Amino acid sequence: MTCAACSGIIESEVLKLKGVKSAVVNFSTEKAVFEFSEDFDLDLFFSLINKLGYRAYDDRKKNRQQDSNSEYTFLNKDLLSALVSLILASLTMFFAMVVHNNTYQAILTTILVLAYGKPYFYAIIKLHSNMNTLIGLGAFSSYFYSLYLLVFNPHAHPYFEGAAFIIAFSLLGHYFDGLAKTKARSSLSSLYKMQIKFAALIIDNKEINTPVIELKENDVIRIKPGEKFPLDGIVTSGESHADEAMLTGESQVVSKFVGSKVFAGSMNMEGSVNIKITSSMHTTEISQVIDFVEKAQLKKAPIQQHADKVVKYFVPAILIFSLLTFMIWYLLTNNIETSLLHMIAVIVIACPCALGLAVPMAIMISTSDAAKKGLLISGGDIIEAGSHIDTMVFDKTGTLTEGRPELTKIVLFHESPSIELEKKYLATAASSLQYSSHPLSQSILNQAVKNDLKLEEPDKFKALTGLGVKASLNQKNILLGNIDLMKSANLSFEVSPQFYTDNIGSYVFMAIDEKLVACFVITDPIKKEAKEVIQALKDLKINVWMLTGDNEGIALKVGAELGISPENIRAGVKPVHKADFVSELQSKNLKVAMVGDGINDAPALAKADVSMAMSTGSDIAIEAAHVSVLGGKLMSVVDFFSRSKRTIRIIKENLLLSSVYNLLCIPLAAGVFYPLFKLTLSPAIASLTMALSSLSVILNSLRVNNRAYSQK
């Protein structure tokens, strides 16, 4: 495909086929997605694509590694044709300027046209309206006009070198475009490269080197230190660490032991491990990430629709304008040659390509780079929406805080505090609630394990929903739970208001034999980078809100530590009401983004203009959210907003660049400035300018990554 108009042509032609439901073609990634009914004959599709002058491959069967190799040879072929045609064109010029031999010129140009003119010729006779049509019309009209002169008017100066250079420069431009596009795609192809080819399959304790493609689920393979995991799996023996940076962007290595999940493409560090395979080549987490990004890049940003509309009418408009140019020049000078040259220059210089590339190029580069950093953006539309966001709502647990509550303090009610006593009560509590699966129980249990405390078996144990647990340990009755449990047990006790202000967190009270003895204060630690993230969002002029189901004390304390003002905090909010709150903000005409852990805040996420889900650990199930942040890295939230703003700015620059180029250069080529400044362009120079203009858009788009928000 040579320009954005091509993708439009393919879309409309394929839709005409019977049985095709939808068609989306992305020019910059050179990918197309079609939906068709079951009885649809795929050969019909391929022959149509061939007839249109393109080549198509079935992506569902491909090996992605080969993809990047074939790209490489394509580029070499482009370079070769560009160089050969440049040499031919220079020789033609030599014969024109120095030797003045028209016949040799004609022969050389004919060779060039026969060798490389085919795609341009097809573009014309098939009445496409794309860049090749314009180049072809320019080149062939100079060529045939020169032939006409050669035969009927041997003394006139023919214009073979013009035709030669138009084709040569256009091929050169094509090569540079390919080069820049390959660079732009490199982020994505580095994801492909994570897939490896061979692995040591273990059968009867022997290692057999086997192609990864032949491995099946439940096969056991051995991964040595420094090797990459070829497929997703579960460790069955051995211990090691894994570097999962390619999935989560997280630089810290993750420890792996028997039962841990490992992911294709991640790197095994210091130990040998055996893993049982749980995925096929096409169902690994990493290939899901790749599929996600590729699909995202097919979704067009609204801003692109305007550009597409212009591109559609661009070529016909240029053809009409070039005819006008010819007529006006002919009326003014009565000279066919001058008029024709201006007409050709107009046709050649016009570049729908730059305009068509302006949006998709920037979006593609931005989303690929983001994916590499563990930030999955589901499309260009989301980038555009992200650039308009002015209000950000955080669901506290799991986003601003770790989502892993920790026991931070043990308060004694009747005895003076001592470490021995605290340990004794911790052991009693942990023993009593060891069979409870409540997160607060888990944090008390974790703390006991950390202190190497010996647990005893309880005689009796009962979980009381919404209250706590009731157990019997060493003939003592133990009650562990919230204040309501203590009240319901008719204990004589009093907790001073001072207690609640001194100790902020979630409370687990403990009573032994109907006497309140201690309270375990549990808090969810704030993420290290949370404060910095809130400040960075404020710097981006985004108003930050915090929602939480926790009590007001916790909410205000976390808010104070993070620099969120109390009026922007809502505590004690139930999951259903989180969605109402988002709608309430939206009704004030605010553009709201919502960040959550994607588990209990799904309704609120669905309401938001942009929804972001934090996936923690290496669990990268891709949620229904617009943006998924892998590895729970909060800084990625800031990266998303600064990236959206930057991407949209670059898109606007691209659109401006290509519009200014066309608005300035087309009149220039038409000779509008000739009467004033004696300025005109030869068709050959026009072809070179055009090649440079689309290159400039691609290069400008690459700047999206230059000032990426530094990840700390």
Q: Which residues are catalytic?
A: 395
**CB nearer another protein, residue 437 or residue 706:** 437
**Across-strand partners of 26?**
31
Site for another protein in 548-567 (CB under 8 A): none
- Pairing of β 610-614 and β 592-596: parallel
- Part of the chain binding another protein (CB under 8 A), chosen from 19-27, 42-50, 54-62, 453-461: 453-461
- Part of the chain binding another protein (CB under 8 A), chosen from 75-83, 302-310, 455-463, 670-678: 455-463
Residue 436 engages another protein in binding (rule: CB under 8 A): yes
Residue 697 engages another protein in binding (rule: CB under 8 A): no
**CB nearer another protein, residue 218 or residue 496:** 218
Q: How far is CA 274 from CA 202, 243, 266, in A?
A: 9, 17, 15
- Minimum distance between the CB of residue 444 and another protein, rounded to whole angstroms? 16
Q: CB of 647 within 8 A of CB of 383?
A: yes
What is the Rg, in whole angstroms, of the alpha carbon atoms belonging to the chain? 34
- Minimum distance between the CB of residue 459 and another protein, rounded to whole angstroms? 7
- Minimum distance between the CB of residue 258 and another protein, rounded to whole angstroms? 14
Residues 6+ apart with CB under 8 A from 507: 482, 483, 519, 520, 521, 522
- Three-state SS string over 419-443 comes to HHHHHHHHHHHHHHCCCCCCHHHHH
Residue 463 engages another protein in binding (rule: CB under 8 A): yes
Task: Identify the residue among 18, 126, 460, 476 touching another protein (CB under 8 A).
Answer: 460
**CB nearer another protein, residue 209 or residue 437:** 437
Residue 125 Ramachandran class (φ > 0 left, ψ -120 to 50 alpha, else beta): alpha
Listed as own residue / partner, the contacts of 444-452 with beta carbons closer than 8 Å and 24 or more positions apart are: 444/407, 444/508, 444/520, 444/522, 446/406, 446/407, 447/406, 447/407, 451/423, 451/426
Task: Identify the residue among 471, 547, 562, 635 touching another protein (CB under 8 A).
Answer: 471
**CB nearer another protein, residue 459 or residue 484:** 459
- Part of the chain binding another protein (CB under 8 A), chosen from 110-118, 451-459, 556-564, 604-612: 451-459
- Part of the chain binding another protein (CB under 8 A), chosen from 112-120, 339-347, 454-462, 478-486: 454-462
**CB nearer another protein, residue 461 or residue 507:** 461
**CB nearer another protein, residue 465 or residue 492:** 465
Residue 379 Ramachandran class (φ > 0 left, ψ -120 to 50 alpha, else beta): left
Residue 539 engages another protein in binding (rule: CB under 8 A): no
Residue 457 engages another protein in binding (rule: CB under 8 A): yes
**How many residues interact with another protein (rule CB under 8 A)?**
11
Q: CB of 360 within 8 A of CB of 28?
A: yes
Q: Is 221 helix (H, G, I), strand (E, B) or coil?
A: strand
- Three-state SS string over 585-625 comes to HHHCCCCEEEEECCCCCHHHHHHCCEEEEECCCCCCCCCCC
Residue 275 CA from chain centroid, whole number: 30
**CB nearer another protein, residue 438 or residue 557:** 438
- Minimum distance between the CB of residue 236 and another protein, rounded to whole angstroms? 15
Residue 437 engages another protein in binding (rule: CB under 8 A): yes
Residue 462 engages another protein in binding (rule: CB under 8 A): yes
Q: Which of 286, 59, 277, 77 is nearest to 190 (CA)?
A: 286
Residue 157 engages another protein in binding (rule: CB under 8 A): no
Q: CB of 571 within 8 A of CB of 602?
A: no
Q: Which of 495, 461, 502 is nearest to 480 (CA)?
A: 461
**CB nearer another protein, residue 145 or residue 461:** 461
**CB nearer another protein, residue 433 or residue 542:** 433
Residues 6+ apart with CB under 8 A from 385: 591, 609, 610, 626, 644
- Minimum distance between the CB of residue 472 and another protein, rounded to whole angstroms? 8
Backbone angles phi, psi at 522, to 5 degrees: -120, 130
- Part of the chain binding another protein (CB under 8 A), chosen from 227-235, 257-265, 288-296, 434-442: 434-442
Extended beta strands in 496-536, E state:
506-512, 515-523
Residue 476 engages another protein in binding (rule: CB under 8 A): no
**CB nearer another protein, residue 270 or residue 459:** 459
- Minimum distance between the CB of residue 434 and another protein, rounded to whole angstroms? 8
- Part of the chain binding another protein (CB under 8 A), chosen from 171-179, 281-289, 460-468, 481-489: 460-468
DSSP 514: T
Residue 461 engages another protein in binding (rule: CB under 8 A): yes
What's the distance, Cα to Cα, between the start and end of the chain in Å? 40
Dihedral, CA atoms, 620, 622, 626, 628, nearest 10 degrees? 0
Q: CB of 652 within 8 A of CB of 699?
A: no
- Minimum distance between the CB of residue 473 and another protein, rounded to whole angstroms? 10
Residue 97 Ramachandran class (φ > 0 left, ψ -120 to 50 alpha, else beta): alpha
Residue 580 engages another protein in binding (rule: CB under 8 A): no
Q: CB of 6 within 8 A of CB of 54?
A: yes
**CB nearer another protein, residue 434 or residue 662:** 434
H/E run at residue 273: strand 273-277
Within 524-563, where are the H helices? 530-539, 552-562
Residue 446 is which amino acid?
A: N
DSSP 20: E
Dihedral, CA atoms, 601, 603, 609, 613, nearest 10 degrees? 30
- Minimum distance between the CB of residue 478 and another protein, rounded to whole angstroms? 12
**CB nearer another protein, residue 459 or residue 561:** 459
Residue 459 engages another protein in binding (rule: CB under 8 A): yes
- Part of the chain binding another protein (CB under 8 A), chosen from 203-211, 263-271, 430-438, 540-548: 430-438
Task: Identify the residue among 46, 94, 122, 435 touching another protein (CB under 8 A).
Answer: 435
- Minimum distance between the CB of residue 458 and another protein, rounded to whole angstroms? 6
Q: CB of 392 within 8 A of CB of 536?
A: no
- Minimum distance between the CB of residue 441 and another protein, rounded to whole angstroms? 11
Residue 253 engages another protein in binding (rule: CB under 8 A): no
- Part of the chain binding another protein (CB under 8 A), chosen from 444-452, 458-466, 506-514, 660-668: 458-466
- Minimum distance between the CB of residue 182 and another protein, rounded to whole angstroms? 49
What residues make contact with another protein under the rule CB under 8 A? 435-437, 457-463, 471
